[in-house]
């Protein structure tokens, strides 16, 4: 645009220089400029003021018209041609992707050996070794427990870290922080009010039943965890049971009453998960450097069938249950009101 420049301040060179000097952006400068012009209203004569006002109104009107034109254009496009185009493309893409996935799955299925034949690669010496020598090598009566926490402990290590990362990302997405003074923000109060509106108000049947059931459920969960090397179960199942029991309790008695207890706070969550994951990683992450080979821990295996046997399996079950229980329980208040 060929235009006579009479103000040096808005020239590109000046802007570049000032940007180099103190990094002020154009918007900042505009704001300062606006402040300066607003601060001196009295020194201007009335006619000048009127002219300025008129100019500003004119500019606003033009901006509004531009905006409306753009919006109309977009709206027209999205309702008429654009949406039809997108819909057709979406359907075509959906069908194509479905066909491609089905093709890939069918091809990979046809490459697989027949189900249940003796010479399949599944029936190799590894599973036979687990079944025959599992008891003597790991000391765990529950072969599954011995497998996932001893032979393939690095697998479970990754699994518990996945749980931890899932809990972390849910917290990142859903947690609402307090403001700078440590008071709850407006958003948080709104969420709480919304939550209270839907909460059952002292449902007697639910409360009595939960009083009856929750201790039994917690006890059963602890039993499943501590007997992980003796009977079916282990860290993950026990954590699921105890988490479900805690959620039932919270549902019956209200979130505020339960979340006042320190044991359910975010701080405890942090420390317990860290301790459990650190212990587990210290105990078993050597597998990644040894090519999943066994390293003798010099912990006596004990008599199979005793509660204190099977070496590291019992403490590792406990650390897994800490991670999984904390995750299951923290999800519920996070989903409900963005805090716990």
Partner 1 sequence: MEFLGIVLLAFILICALAVCLTRNLMVSIIILMSQSLAMSVIWILLESPDLAITEAAVGAGVTSLLFFVTLKKIHAIGGEKQDGEAEE
Q: Does 207 bind partner 1 (CB under 8 A)?
A: no
Q: Does 200 bind partner 1 (CB under 8 A)?
A: yes
Mask for 144-183, x = binds partner 1 (CB under 8 A)? x---------------------------------------
Alpha carbon distance 107, 113 (integer Å) = 12
Of the residues 167, 225, 240, 320, which one makes contact with partner 1 according to CB under 8 A: 240
Of the residues 18, 237, 281, 287, which one makes contact with partner 1 according to CB under 8 A: 237
Alpha carbon distance 252, 205 (integer Å) = 9
Of the residues 234, 310, 323, 330, which one makes contact with partner 1 according to CB under 8 A: 234
Q: Does 244 bind partner 1 (CB under 8 A)?
A: yes
Task: Read off the DSSP letter of residue 180.
Answer: T
What minimum distance in Å lies between the beta carbon of 92 and partner 1? Answer: 21
- Enter the tokens of residue 306: 């005793």
- Enter the tokens of residue 257: 């009453």
CA 198 vs. chain centroid, Å, equals: 24
Q: Does 115 bind partner 1 (CB under 8 A)?
A: no
Q: Give whole-number Cα distances, 295 to 80, 105, 133, 287, in Å.
A: 68, 39, 17, 8
What minimum distance in Å lies between the beta carbon of 145 and partner 1? Answer: 8
Alpha carbon distance 331, 263 (integer Å) = 15
Q: How many binding residues for partner 1 (CB under 8 A)?
A: 22
Q: Does 241 bind partner 1 (CB under 8 A)?
A: yes
Of the residues 233, 252, 317, 339, which one makes contact with partner 1 according to CB under 8 A: 233
Of the residues 17, 34, 189, 232, which one makes contact with partner 1 according to CB under 8 A: 232
Element (H, E) at 157: helix 153-174
Instruction: Identify which range of 54-62, 195-203, 265-273, 287-295 contacts partner 1 by CB under 8 A.
Output: 195-203
Q: Does 139 bind partner 1 (CB under 8 A)?
A: no
CA 59 vs. chain centroid, Å, equals: 47
Contact in structure between 319 and 225 (CB atoms under 8 Å): no
Q: What residue ranges in 6-158 does DSSP mark as E strands?
A: none
- Enter the tokens of residue 246: 């805690």
Chain residues binding partner 1 by CB under 8 A are 144, 194, 197-198, 200-201, 224, 232-234, 236-237, 240-241, 243-244, 247, 328, 331-332, 335-336
């Amino acid at each position: 645009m060929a235009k006579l420049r009479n103000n040096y301040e808005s020239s590109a060179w000046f802007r570049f220089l000032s940007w180099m000097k103190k990094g002020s952006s154009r918007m900042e400068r505009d704001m300062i400029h606006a402040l300066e012009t607003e601060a001196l209203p009295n020194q201007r004569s009335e006619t000048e003021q009127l002219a300025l006002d008129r100019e500003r109104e004119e500019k606003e009107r033009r901006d509004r018209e531009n905006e409306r034109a753009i919006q109309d254009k977009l709206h027209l496009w999205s309702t008429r041609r654009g949406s039809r185009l997108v819909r057709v493309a979406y359907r075509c893409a959906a069908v194509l992707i479905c066909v491609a996935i089905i093709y890939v799955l069918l091809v990979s299925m046809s490459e697989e050996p027949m189900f249940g034949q003796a010479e399949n690669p599944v029936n190799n010496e590894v599973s036979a070794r687990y079944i025959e020598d599992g008891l003597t090598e790991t000391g765990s009566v529950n072969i599954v427990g011995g497998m996932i926490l001893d032979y393939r402990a690095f697998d479970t290590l990754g699994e518990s870290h996945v749980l931890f990362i899932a809990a972390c990302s849910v917290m990142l997405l859903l947690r609402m922080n307090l403001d700078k003074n440590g008071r709850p923000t407006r958003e948080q109060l709104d969420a709480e009010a919304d939550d209270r509106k839907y909460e059952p108000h002292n449902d007697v049947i639910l409360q009595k039943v939960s009083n009856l059931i929750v201790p039994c459920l917690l006890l059963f969960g602890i039993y499943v965890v501590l007997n992980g090397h003796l009977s079916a179960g282990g860290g993950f199942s026990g954590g699921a049971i105890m988490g479900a029991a805690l959620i039932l309790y919270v549902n019956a008695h209200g979130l505020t009453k339960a979340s006042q207890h320190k044991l359910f706070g975010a701080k405890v969550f942090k420390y317990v998960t860290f301790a459990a994951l650190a212990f587990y990683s210290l105990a078993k992450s050597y597998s990644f450097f040894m090519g999943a080979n066994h390293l003798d821990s010099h912990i006596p295996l004990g008599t199979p069938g005793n509660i204190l046997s099977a070496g590291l399996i019992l403490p590792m079950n406990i650390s897994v249950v800490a991670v999984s229980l904390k995750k299951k329980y923290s999800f519920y208040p996070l989903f409900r009101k963005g805090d716990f």
